[in-house]
């Protein structure tokens, strides 16, 4: 790379940073250069020697100081490409991530988190026997079916990590197909209540009444039938 006069570079670089709203300090400039793989040495701007080893590797789950969790998707040119749960893929230099992050462990898991082992499951907050084997409210079993464990003991202890968006979506799809939904606030499974079109059922009932009953008592019978359906449906929702 051709040497660049640092004075000329900074004289144009500082105004650009200030226009962008940065408070310009020596550290600001140094970090901005490092993000581009550059450093100032002996008054000249040059590429940083490619000697910095990344702290994390592709496939790692990492925890920031603010407890945010990210997946390391790529490692290249002093930079990590991370994946966030919403699908964003920020690219952040090693020197930033390595200072403020650590590897995720099962101790970071919280009650109600969706985790992944051999299949996705919802963690119930229990680590069996203190040996780090997480328990599950529900899961997809090895046959690909939705399952609610009979006991609150550990579900699995094999390479547990946070679930990706795709794995979470699969779990909730299987859950819905099995007739359940997850209450995130109460941390419990609920049976999906059937949706009933009462008016359509009353119309069909009325149309199937014998002609004599229809002419003489159609309205009263239909109203009584409707009231019975509504009472039954309200009981089912409790």
pLDDT tens per residue, range 147-172: 998 765 566 666 789 999 999 999 99
138 or 4, which is more confident: 138
pLDDT recorded at residue 185: 92
Cβ count near 85 (within 10 Å) = 15
* pTM for the full predicted model: 0.63
For the segment 116-138, the average pLDDT, to the nearest whole number, is 82
Number of helices (H) and strands (E), helices first, in the chain?
6, 15
Structure tokens given for 151: 């006991």
pLDDT recorded at residue 163: 93
pLDDT recorded at residue 204: 74
pLDDT recorded at residue 206: 66
51 or 83, which is more confident: 83
pLDDT recorded at residue 26: 67
Instruction: Supply the mean pLDDT for the chain.
Output: 78
Q: In what side-by-side order are the strands of the sheet with 91-93?
A: 91-93, 79-83, 69-76, 61-64, 101-103
Q: Which residue has the tokens 């359940």?
A: 180
pLDDT recorded at residue 192: 84
Mean pLDDT is lowest, of 43-47, 73-77, 134-138, 225-229, for 43-47
22 or 199, which is more confident: 199
pLDDT recorded at residue 75: 95
Distance CA 24, CA 10 (A): 11
């Amino acid at each position: 790379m051709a040497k660049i006069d640092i004075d000329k570079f900074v004289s144009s670089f500082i105004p650009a940073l200030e226009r962008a709203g940065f408070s310009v300090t020596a550290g600001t400039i140094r970090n901005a250069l490092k993000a581009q793989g550059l450093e100032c040495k002996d008054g000249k701007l040059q590429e940083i020697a490619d000697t910095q080893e990344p702290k994390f590797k592709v496939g790692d789950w990492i925890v920031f100081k603010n407890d945010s969790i990210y997946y390391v998707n790529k490692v290249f040119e002093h930079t990590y490409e991370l994946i966030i749960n919403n699908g964003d893929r920020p690219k952040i230099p090693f020197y930033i991530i390595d200072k403020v992050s650590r590897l995720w462990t099962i101790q970071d898991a919280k009650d109600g988190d969706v985790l992944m082992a051999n299949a996705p499951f919802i963690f119930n907050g229990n680590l069996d026997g203190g040996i780090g084997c997480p328990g599950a409210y529900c899961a997809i079993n090895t046959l690909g079916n939705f399952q609610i464990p009979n006991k609150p003991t550990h579900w699995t202890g094999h390479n547990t990590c946070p679930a990706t968006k795709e794995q979470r979506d699969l779990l909730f799809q299987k859950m819905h197909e099995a007739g359940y939904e997850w209450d995130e606030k109460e941390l419990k499974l609920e049976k999906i209540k059937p949706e009933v079109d009462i008016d359509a059922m009353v119309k069909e009932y009325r149309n199937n009444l014998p002609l004599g009953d229809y002419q003489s008592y159609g309205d009263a019978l239909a109203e009584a039938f409707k009231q019975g359906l509504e009472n039954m449906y309200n009981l089912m929702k409790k």
